[in-house]
Structure 1
Amino acid sequence: MNIIIRNSSNQPIYEQIYTQIKDMILNGTLTEGDMLPSIRGLAKDLRISVITTKRAYDELEREGYVNTVAGKGCFVAGTNRELIQEENLKKIEAHMQQIRQLAAGCGITNEELVEMFRILEVEE
C-alpha cells in the first residue's frame, strides 16, 4: 500500500492516512475483503506512532469503510454503491466550483465552459 505522509501539510497525519485509504477504497484500488496492513506494520513502514495509525483505522471503521476482525486484522468492508456515488458527486461538485471560479477570473462564460467540455469529450 502506497501511502505518502507530507509533514508540510496542514492536515494531521492520521487524517492523511484516513483520506488516502478511503480514496483507494472509493476508486477501487482496494476492494471488498482486501486486508489492510497491520496497524503496527503500517506505523513502522511510515515511521509514525502506532496510536496515529490506530486513529486512522478507527475513523475508517467508524465511517464503515473497513471492518476489524479480532486476531485477524482490518479488511475493506462491502461498499455501499450509493455512498461511493455520493462521495464522487461531492468531489465533482468541488472541482466544478473551482473551475467556475477560475473561469470567471478569466472572463469565460458558462456556455464557453460547456463547449470546452464537449470538445474534450470528442477528443477522447
Structure 2
Amino acid sequence: MRVVISTSASIPIYEQIKTQVRSAILSGDVPAGSTLPSLRQLAADLRVSVITVTRAYNDLVAEGLVRNEHGRGFVVRDIDPAVAAEELAKRVDTALLELRVAARHARIDIDEIHRRLEEAWRSETDD
C-alpha cells in the first residue's frame, strides 16, 4: 500500500491518509486480515506525527474498515463487496461533482472534459 501526502493541499494530512487507506481497502488492494503499517512506521515513512496517523487509523476503526488488535496493530476487516463497490462509486460521484465545479470556473466545456478524461483514462499511471 502506497500513501502519498501533500503538505500544500488544503485537505488535512490525516484526511489524505484516511482516504488513501480507505480506497486501498475498498478496492481490495489491502485484503481482509492484512495488517496496516504500524503507526510509528507510517508516520516515519511520511514524515508526519504519530498523532496524525493515529487520527486517520482511528477514523477507519470508527468506519468499521479496520480493528485494533492488541499485539497485532490495525487489521483490515472483511468488507462486503457490494458495500465496497458502493463506497467506491460514491468517491467517483464526488470527484465528478468537483470536476464539474472546477471546469465551470475554468470555462472548460463538456467536449474538452471528455477529451481530457479520455486522455487521463488511457494514461499508464494508476493512482
Report the TM-score, using the length of structure 1 for normalisation: 0.74
Match of 1:6, SS state, is coil
Q: How does 1:25-44 map to 2 (within 5 A)?
A: 25-44=25-44
2:67–2:76 Cα contact (<8 Å) kept? yes
Where do 4+ consecutive residues of structure 1 move more than 4 Å? 95-99
State the AA in 2 paired with 1:87. Answer: E
User: Partner of 2:117 in structure 1?
Assistant: none
Distance 1:20 1:107 in 2: 28
The residue correspondences of 1:10-21 to structure 2 (distance < 5 A) are 10-21=10-21
1:86 is matched with which residue? 86
TM-score, scaled relative to structure 2: 0.73
Structure 2 gap ranges (5+): 115-127
SS of 2:67's partner is: strand
Q: Structure 1 residues 107 and 7 mapped into 2: Cα distance closer, same or farther (>3 Å)?
A: closer
Q: Percent identity at matched positions? A: 39
Corresponding residue for 1:106?
109
- Tell me the amino acid that sits aligned with residue 87 of structure 2: E
Q: Across the two proteins, how many residue pairs are aligned to each other?
A: 111
Is 2:27–2:88's contact at 8 Å kept on the other side of the alignment? no
Q: Which residue of 2 aligns with 1:64?
A: 64
The equivalent residue for 1:120 is: none
- Larger Rg belongs to: 1
Question: How far off is 1:71 after superposition?
Answer: 1.6
Q: In 1, are the aligned partners of 2:35 and 2:72 still within 8 Å (CA)?
A: no
Counterpart of 1:7 in structure 2: which amino acid?
A: T
**Which blocks of at least 5 consecutive residues in structure 1 are unaligned?**
114-124
